């Protein structure tokens, strides 16, 4: 319970205390910068298992630091560009928390961290449905935790303190290594199909210059009976919040790229993947292969932990296309392909 507080982590020489004790006053942190913020970045990278290579300049955003940031980003499912933006810094802070470092409970804003993700993973494998493993302690996680505590004879206060952690470890040692109840539930829904486009609520987001595609797609989906909300909000988290409030069945985001690519991302972390997101991404990638061929590339499906995919509570994809000008020129083909993929996905049965 909340009274069984986790002990504070001691901070030895060069160690990094869990959490965000020091937050840089500006982002992004970029190559060539120097100072205490870069020193703290390097320490946090080391604590996360990605120390800059020997010989790196301490307190300087040197090439070794760029490589370490890029490696960390890759392991966290973020864009691996070696630049420490706010999302990368947040991921470093979240990586500093281990289950048992602090008491976990429902608060506003929600607690976030790798400790929350481990709690969710352990609960899911024991059959307590906290939804997707996203490292965010929301109401669903609180309810699942309270159910677990009640089943174990603990004081059911939805607070994960030391007693609850010990019970999770003890009971979890007897559980299997299956995918967890949230994945099983999503697979079951896929097996029976989502229904039809006419019964679906869809959010279409774009991140600059692709409103011609989202508006055209929204118009066509509405003609089929779908309830559609287009979004032009540039902030990914704001789009996710709007999609959640809309109670969407699916979120589709569109983004241009300086490179000739056709890549469809869905939510995936080491301990969890959105099955609905993956199958939707695969359907869209297959439908967009002609565009990819015209660009001289293959359409790819890549699971990532990008903010818009993590924050949405429904199956979500981010479609990254080539240059905005080329994609807009092909907007009719893109719209038709994505509509076809979405129709297939909503009606398919496994």
Which residues lie across from 204 on neighbouring strands?
Answer: 230, 252
| Tens digit of each residue's pLDDT (9 = 90 or more) over 332-349 | 999 999 999 999 999 874
Statement: residue 1 has pLDDT above 70: no
Domain 114-178 maps to which CATH number in 1.10.3720.10, 3.40.50.10330, 1.10.645.10, 1.10.101.10? Answer: 1.10.101.10
Residues 82/64, Cβ–Cβ less than 8 Å: no
Q: Calculate mean pLDDT across residues 223-244.
A: 96
Distance CA 109, CA 122 (A): 23
Angle, helix 162-172 to helix 114-125, in steps of 10 degrees: 50
| Tens digit of each residue's pLDDT (9 = 90 or more) over 54-110 | 989 999 999 999 999 999 999 999 999 999 999 999 999 999 999 999 999 999 999
Burial label for 68, CB within 10 Å (0-12, 13-18, 19+), is buried
Statement: residue 184 has pLDDT above 90: no
Statement: residue 245 has pLDDT above 60: yes
**pLDDT at site 161:** 97
Distance CA 34, CA 349 (A): 55
- Of 338, 328, 270, the closest CA to residue 304 belongs to 270
Tell which phi-psi region holds residue 238, choosing left (phi > 0), alpha (psi between -120 and 50) or beta: alpha
**pLDDT at site 22:** 67
**pLDDT classification of 24: cutoffs 50, 70, 90:** confident
Q: Any residues with CB less than 8 A from the CB of 157 and at least 6 apart, and which? A: 1, 2, 105, 146, 149
| Tens digit of each residue's pLDDT (9 = 90 or more) over 44-56 | 999 999 999 998 9
**pLDDT at site 43:** 96
Lowest mean pLDDT among 180-184, 196-200, 226-230: 180-184
Q: Calculate mean pLDDT across residues 252-271.
A: 94
| Tens digit of each residue's pLDDT (9 = 90 or more) over 263-277 | 999 999 988 999 999
Q: Do domains 114-178 and 192-347 have the same CATH topology?
A: no
**pLDDT at site 2:** 41
**pLDDT at site 25:** 75
- Domain 36-95 top-level CATH class: mainly alpha
Q: Chain-centre distance of CA 128, in angstroms?
A: 21
Q: Where are the domains of the chain?
A: 36-95, 114-178, 192-347
**pLDDT classification of 294: cutoffs 50, 70, 90:** confident
Q: Calculate mean pLDDT across residues 178-188.
A: 67
Dihedral angle computed from the Cα positions of residues 36, 39, 41 and 46, in that order, rounded to the nearest 10 degrees? -160
- Which pair of structure tokens corresponds to residue 45? 């990278």
**pLDDT at site 170:** 93
| Tens digit of each residue's pLDDT (9 = 90 or more) over 106-165 | 999 999 999 999 999 999 999 999 999 999 999 999 999 999 999 999 999 999 999 999
**pLDDT at site 178:** 63
Distance CA 211, CA 262 (A): 18
Domain 192-347 maps to which CATH number in 2.10.77.10, 3.40.630.40, 3.40.50.150, 3.40.109.10? Answer: 3.40.630.40
Q: Kindly report the number of other CB atoms within 10 A of residue 23's CB atom.
A: 12
């Amino acid at each position: 319970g909340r009274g069984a507080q986790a002990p504070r982590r001691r901070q030895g020489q060069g160690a990094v205390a869990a959490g965000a004790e020091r937050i840089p006053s500006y982002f992004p942190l970029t190559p060539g910068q120097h100072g205490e913020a870069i020193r703290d970045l390097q320490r946090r990278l080391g604590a996360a298992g990605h120390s800059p290579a020997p010989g790196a300049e301490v307190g300087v955003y040197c090439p070794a630091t760029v490589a370490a940031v890029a490696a960390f980003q890759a392991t966290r499912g973020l864009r691996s560009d070696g630049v420490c933006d706010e999302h990368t810094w947040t991921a470093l802070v979240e990586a500093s928390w281990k289950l048992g470092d602090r008491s976990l409970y429902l608060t506003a804003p929600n607690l976030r961290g790798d400790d929350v993700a481990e709690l969710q993973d352990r609960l899911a494998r024991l059959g307590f449905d906290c939804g997707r493993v996203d490292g965010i302690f929301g109401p669903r996680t609180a309810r699942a935790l309270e159910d677990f505590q009640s089943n174990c004879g603990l004081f059911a206060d939805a607070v994960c303190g030391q007693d609850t952690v010990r019970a999770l470890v003890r009971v979890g040692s007897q559980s299997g290594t299956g995918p967890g109840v949230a994945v099983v539930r999503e697979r079951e829904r896929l097996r029976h199909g989502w229904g039809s486009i006419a019964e679906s609520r869809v959010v279409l987001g774009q991140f600059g210059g692709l409103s011609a595609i989202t508006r055209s797609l929204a118009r066509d989906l509405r003609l089929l009976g779908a309830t559609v909300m287009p979004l032009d909000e540039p902030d990914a988290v704001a789009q996710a919040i709007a999609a959640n409030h809309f109670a969407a069945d699916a979120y589709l985001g569109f983004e241009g790229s300086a490179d000739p690519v056709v890549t469809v991302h869905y939510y995936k972390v080491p301990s969890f993947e959105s099955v609905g997101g993956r199958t939707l991404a695969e359907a869209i990638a297959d439908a967009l292969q002609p565009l990819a061929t015209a660009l001289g590339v293959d359409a790819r499906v890549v699971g990532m932990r990008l903010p818009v995919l993590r924050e949405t509570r429904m199956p979500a994809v981010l479609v990254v296309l080539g240059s905005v000008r080329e994609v807009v020129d092909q907007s009719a083909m893109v719209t038709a392909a994505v509509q076809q993929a979405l129709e297939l996905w909503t009606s398919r049965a496994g």
